[in-house]
């Protein structure tokens, strides 16, 4: 499974330009928005590898953000283990959980919506476990990460280092998605997306391909959870395990174009600023209003834009 990594030129240009942004005297709030933008682009790109390319639509990816956030945090709080090592544990736990769900689901042919429903159960289960294990996890109030500003503990006083880390995460994920798209693995996932039986008939091991895509996606997602916990320094079950996050990841990619590497980023460019604006205007009371907007946008995209907002942009360009 080794391939040459062909980096798209546009991605490289945008990334290089983005590295000089911190020179500008911008308020720290702007960096928060940029970090969230990169973070959601990253998460949705990870999601798109299994759910966009292979059309195995997961509505449970928040589980892996949650595990990626909680496992290193608990290891840090109780055993003083640095999140860099904790991250490995968080990813390992996430992969194990993904394997427990994914292997039987794919092996015994849970297809289409059936797979999606199965994945939806996971965050609901994990959320109640992390709420009820109050003595360890702090329950629904969540858990604060002790402040120890240092590279060793993946904590920084300013937002700039987080910005660079998020930029690197996004760059690597987008580049990985881009290479998969041009590689045999991407072609196999496309075949599975179009017709699983026909894919099997030309010799594609459908179960194995889906599983590899799922595990790749989950590993990236869990790392996203690690990053989120260290950036926010506070985590709670409802935010991280809750279904809204799962839906947000899926919606972002779907609105952009789940079949292309840049699609999720396009989706995040629209959704992240919008939900920020909405939050400023309406306050926390109407926080769920953004979901109304997501739903409306999803309907419009499903009805009129089969290739998402990206399709609209490329059509205009022609």
Task: Tell me which residues touch other proteins (CB under 8 A).
Answer: 182-184, 187-188, 190-191, 194-195, 197-206
Minimum distance from residue 6 beta carbon to other proteins (Å): 11
Contact assessment for residue 63 and residue 69, using Cβ atoms and an 8 Å cutoff: no
Which residue lies nearer to other proteins by CB, 167 or 199?
A: 199
Indicate the residue among 205 and 288 with the shorter CB distance to other proteins: 205
Residue 164: CB minimum distance to other proteins, A: 33
Q: How far is the CB of 257 from other proteins (least distance, A)?
A: 13
Q: Which is nearer to other proteins, 154 or 185 (CB)?
A: 185
Dist CA 259 CA 264 (whole Å): 9
- Beta carbon of residue 64, minimum distance to other proteins (angstroms, whole number): 28
Give the residue with the Cβ less far from other proteins, 107 or 148.
107
CA dihedral 294, 295, 300, 303 (to 10 degrees): 140
Smallest gap from Cβ 316 to other proteins, in A, equals: 21
**How far is the C-alpha of 318 from the C-alpha of 99, rounded, in Å?**
43
Closest distance of CB 104 from other proteins, Å: 16
Cα distance between residue 259 and residue 43, in whole Å? 15
Q: Which two tokens stand for residue 195?
A: 């017709």
**Cβ proximity to other proteins, 74 vs 192, nearer residue:** 192
3-state helix, strand, coil in the chain (%, to 5): 80, 0, 20
Place of tokens 């090592």: 85
Closer residue to other proteins, CB minimum distance, 197 or 281: 197
Residue among 95, 225, 226 nearest 153 (CA): 226
- How many helical (H) and strand (E) elements, i.e. helices and strands, does the chain have? 15, 2
């Amino acid at each position: 499974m080794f391939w040459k990594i062909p980096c798209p030129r546009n991605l490289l240009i945008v990334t290089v330009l983005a590295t000089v942004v911190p020179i500008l005297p911008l308020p720290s709030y702007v960096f928060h928005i940029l970090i969230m933008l990169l973070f959601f682009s990253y998460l949705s790109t990870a999601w798109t590898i299994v759910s966009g390319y292979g059309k195995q639509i997961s509505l449970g990816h928040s589980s892996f953000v949650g595990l990626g956030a909680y496992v290193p945090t608990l290891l840090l709080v109780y055993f003083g283990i640095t999140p860099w090592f904790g991250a490995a544990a968080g990813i390992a736990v996430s992969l194990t959980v993904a394997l427990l769900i994914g292997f039987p689901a794919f092996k015994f042919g849970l297809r289409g919506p059936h797979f999606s429903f199965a994945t939806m159960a996971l965050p609901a289960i994990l959320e109640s476990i992390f709420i009820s294990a109050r003595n360890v996890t702090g329950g629904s109030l969540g858990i604060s990460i002790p402040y120890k500003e240092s590279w060793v503990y993946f904590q920084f006083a300013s937002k700039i280092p987080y910005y660079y880390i998020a930029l690197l995460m996004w760059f690597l994920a987008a580049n990985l998605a881009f290479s998969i798209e041009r590689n045999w693995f991407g072609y196999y996932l496309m075949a599975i997306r179009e017709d699983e039986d026909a894919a099997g008939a030309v010799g594609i091991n459908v179960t194995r391909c889906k599983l590899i895509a799922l595990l790749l996606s989950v590993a990236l997602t869990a790392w996203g959870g690690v990053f989120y916990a260290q950036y926010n320094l506070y985590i709670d079950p409802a935010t991280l395990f809750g279904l809204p996050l799962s839906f947000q990841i899926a919606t972002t990619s779907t609105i952009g174009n789940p079949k292309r590497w840049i699609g999720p980023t396009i989706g995040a460019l629209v959704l992240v600023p919008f939900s920020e604006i909405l939050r400023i205007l309406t306050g926390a009371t109407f926080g769920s209003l953004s979901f109304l907007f997501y739903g409306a946008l999803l309907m419009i995209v499903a009805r009129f834009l089969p290739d998402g907002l990206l399709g609209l942009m490329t059509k205009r360009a022609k």
